[in-house]
Amino acid sequence: MPGVPSGKACEACRRQKKKCDEKQPSCGRCLRLKIKCEGSGQRRYKFQQENQFVKKFQTHHQAKPLPSATHSDLTPFNGALGSHDRSSPGYFIPGNLTNSTAKLASAFLKTVDYSTDFRWNLAWSFGLFMQDIPRRLGTNDALDRAAEAVASAHADLCNHLHGTVRTLTKYTAALRTLRVYLDDPVHAHESNTFAAVMLLLVCHTLIGAHNSLHWSGHAQGAIQILKARKNFGPRDDFEAKMQLCLSGTVLFEGIFNRNIELCQEEWDTLITIKYDVNKAEGRLLLNLSRVPDLMRRAKVLLRTGLDTTGVLDELWAMYLTCKLDVDHLKQARITKDLSVIQGLPPGPRKTWIERLLLVHNDRVYGLGIVISLLFNCMLQSLDVHSASLQADAYKYVEELLVLNDESECLRPVGSGYMILCLSVAWVATTDPLQRKTLKQWLYEYQHDFNFSQQSSLLDDLKLNSDHLRLGVEVDWPALHKSWSSSSASSSV
């Protein structure tokens, strides 16, 4: 309409009459100047179809089934669908929401929408189940409060703020509400309550409340919900997406958090629900689930000198299998198979999924290397083929450093997985130059999320090393002396 501003520049660029790249959630100029970015990529004035207000009657003590997302009873909210695929249920929001819930849905949608860059997109980093959250808001108070905390933490991160009072207050309120729901036998096992736990796990990461060895406990809580059901199987597609996200988190956290206690049958069920164990990715995760038990048995071998359970042969066989699977993942990363999206119509959604597949291959390859390095560390501690293992570790760490350089453009959220990769790489390598480079990068990444101060980072890495190397101390001064002498002789 003539006379109505149609620009999508942010408020800061508009006031200064500067060109804005209109990227979401924060434009390039505001990121460079480290100032708050508001309204980037959004029209200041937009005519919308008025929806008749429908009052909702909900009771807090009676569970109600979630209505299915159909075109008849759901409407696109605030133009959020844009040119995306309107058949995707994650982008439909009920039209009868209250003002506060509708505002929350709009804020949360910005964190997972296709238009949000991978640097800040939570759906890419923490699981595609988050795209289904907006249409579920207003049906579960625990989910609403958790979504509110995530949206606030995400906004703080985009504006380079860490742990603001507003976000911490919302996070605390979400924890209190979740505790009430978990005490209710009707709501405790609901999918939306399960989703609230998953969102708090995301929020805990965004606010930078932990480092590599101190866990939130939310993954442990999600597992307790599944165990209370007596069946790990998902009830619907939404739960299947959540379990796909949860499985990797629990597998890695289970190595450090002794409170996550699952028998091997439960581990296998958690993995085989969504992964094909006949493929490289599934086999690697299945081997990863064996790590806690193998570490306990390997410590017994170190303490007694007796291999009564055959753990040494088992470790070596799994390590060789992991190396082969990592080679397959590396080949898949090189070939870049995009056949799964050939049938999609051209548009932002296809472009987003295409990039998703490319960066997904990088992430899976990096985590595959991490799993191999975990077995490498244990075998080094058992003094088995040490020279060969140290050579493998050096090669894998170099691969991770290359992958890190390529993933730097996804910082901070999109490359957050590199914190785990670089931490394990620091433990596995015995090369001082590699360790120095890894430590410098970890300082950078931990500054993004405000995990810990630099003074405590080295202590955390040493605790990691002590745990993953089965308590075997490494004589670093002696190693450094030998490296120095070898380099001096080679120069002569």
In a domain, 51, yes or no: no
CB 158 within 8 A of CB 120: yes
Residues 193 and 226 occupy one common structural domain: yes
My answer on whether 297 and 440 are in the same domain is: yes
- Return all residues near 440 (Cβ < 8 A) that are at least 6 apart: none
Q: Which residues contact 10 (CB under 8 A, 6 or more apart)?
A: 20, 22, 27, 30, 37, 38, 39, 40
| Weakest-pLDDT range from 35-39, 43-47, 179-183 | 43-47
Whether the Cβ atoms of residue 167 and residue 149 lie closer than 8 Å to each other:
yes
C-alpha pair distances (Å), 387 with each of 271, 289, 380: 33, 27, 9
Q: Do 461 and 483 contact (CB within 8 A), yes or no?
A: no
End residue of a domain, out of 208, 239, 274? 274
Q: 316-320, 397-401, 427-431, 473-477: which range is least confident on average? A: 473-477
Q: Residues 373, 463: one domain? A: yes
* 338 shares a domain with 243: no
pLDDT for 95-153, tens place per residue?
A: 556 678 888 988 898 898 878 888 888 988 888 889 899 989 988 999 999 999 999 99
**Residue indicated by tokens 């082969």:** 324
Range of the domain at 313: 280-473
Give the chain's length.
492
Q: What confidence tens digit (pLDDT) does each residue in 338-352 have?
A: 777 777 788 777 887
Q: Are residues 164 and 260 in the same domain?
A: yes
Please report which confidence band the pLDDT of residue 72 belongs to, taking 50, 70 and 90 as the band edges.
Answer: very low
pLDDT at residue 309 tops 50: yes
One domain, residues 114 and 237: yes
Domain for residue 361, yes or no? Answer: yes
* 58 within some domain: no
Specify the range with the lowest mean pLDDT, choosing from 25-34, 108-117, 206-215: 206-215
Burial bucket for residue 95 (CB in 10 Å: 0-12, 13-18, 19+): middle
Q: What is the pLDDT of residue 144?
A: 94
In this model, does residue 183 exceed pLDDT 50? yes
Strands (E) across 198-244 are located at none
pLDDT surpassing 50 at residue 54: no
Name residue 94's beta-bridge partners: 74
| Contact between residue 203 and residue 413 where contact means Cβ atoms under 8 Å apart | no
Domain finish residue from 274, 308, 323: 274
Predicted confidence (pLDDT) at residue 438 exceeds the cutoff of 80: yes
Comparing 221-235, 317-331, 469-483, the range with the smallest average pLDDT is 469-483
Give residue 243's pLDDT: 79
Residues 259, 321 within the same domain:
no
Say whether pLDDT at 216 is over 70. Answer: no
Q: Say if residue 327's pLDDT is above 90.
A: yes
Rounded to an integer, what distance in angstroms lies between the CA atom of residue 241 and that of residue 224? 18
Q: Which of these, 198, 51, 45, 212, lies nearest to 127 by C-alpha position? A: 198
Spatial separation of the C-alpha atoms in residues 424 and 213, rounded to whole Å: 12
Q: Tell me, yes or no, whether 69 lies in a domain.
A: no
Is the same domain home to 371 and 401?
Answer: yes
Q: Could you tell me if 2 and 145 lie in one domain? A: no
Are residue 407 and residue 436 in the same domain, yes or no?
yes
In-domain check, residue 46: no
Last residue of a domain, one of 208, 242, 274: 274
Please say whether the beta carbons of 469 and 461 come within 8 A.
Answer: no
How many angstroms separate the CA atoms of 451 and 207, rounded? 8
For the chain, what is the domain count? 3
Cβ-based neighbours of 288, under 8 Å, separated by 6 or more: 251, 252, 371, 374
38-47, 81-90, 205-214, 466-475: which has the minimum mean pLDDT?
Answer: 81-90
pLDDT at position 49: 45
Say whether both 134 and 201 belong to one domain. Answer: yes
φ, ψ (nearest 5 deg) of residue 376: -60, -45
- Judge whether 86 lies within some domain: no
pLDDT band at 209 (very low <50, low <70, confident <90, very high): low
Residue 25 domain flag = yes
| 459 in the same domain as 427 | yes
- Residue 79 in domain: no
